[in-house]
Amino acid sequence: MTYILKTDAVSEALDKAVNLKGGDYVYEKLPLDGSGASCRYSTNDGAPSCLVGFVIAEVAPELFAEIVEYEAAYSTSVGVLELVDEFDIEFESADLEYALSYAQEKQDESYTWGEAQAAYYRTVERAAED
């Protein structure tokens, strides 16, 4: 199955996640089977963990279920760009893919979710101006 992520749905889900956790929330990396901590899309019990995990769970629940299985089987984490390679994901635009990846990068660098959200919107808005 091909999963197509659209800007409006991703933006709405991102806003919902930030509102749920709070703009000052800082993501805490999860332990990986003795190999240190890592940013993951899902918790060990299959709930959304990181910002992008929340977004995917909201806009593409079937895709999120596949990611949960993947992370459980391989005890690993991957970035947005690697998700595209691993799963059949298409973005409405390359700009959306970059914006979501940039938000994840900010989160993974211990910025708040509010700062990651702002980075996402700056990227989306800049692309819309072009």
Query: Residue 109 in 3-state DSSP?
Result: coil
For the four alpha carbons of 21, 67, 96 and 2, in that order, the dihedral sign comes to: negative
pLDDT, mean of residues 92-96: 94
Tokens of 59: 């806009």
Stretch 46-59: mean pLDDT: 95
Residue given tokens 């199955």 in the structure block: 1
Residue 33 vs residues 7, 36, 37, 58: alpha-carbon distances, Å? 35, 8, 9, 27
Computed on alpha carbons and rounded to an integer, the radius of gyration of the chain in Å comes to 14
- Kindly report, residue by residue over 4-42, the tens digit of the pLDDT: 999 999 999 999 999 999 999 999 876 655 555 567 888
| pLDDT at residue number 32 | 58
Beta strands (DSSP E) in the chain are 3-5, 30-31, 37-38, 89-91
Give the pLDDT score at 54: 97
pLDDT at 101 over 60: yes
Q: For the chain, what are the domain ranges?
A: 3-129
Rounded to a whole number of angstroms, the distance between the first and last alpha carbons of the chain is 32
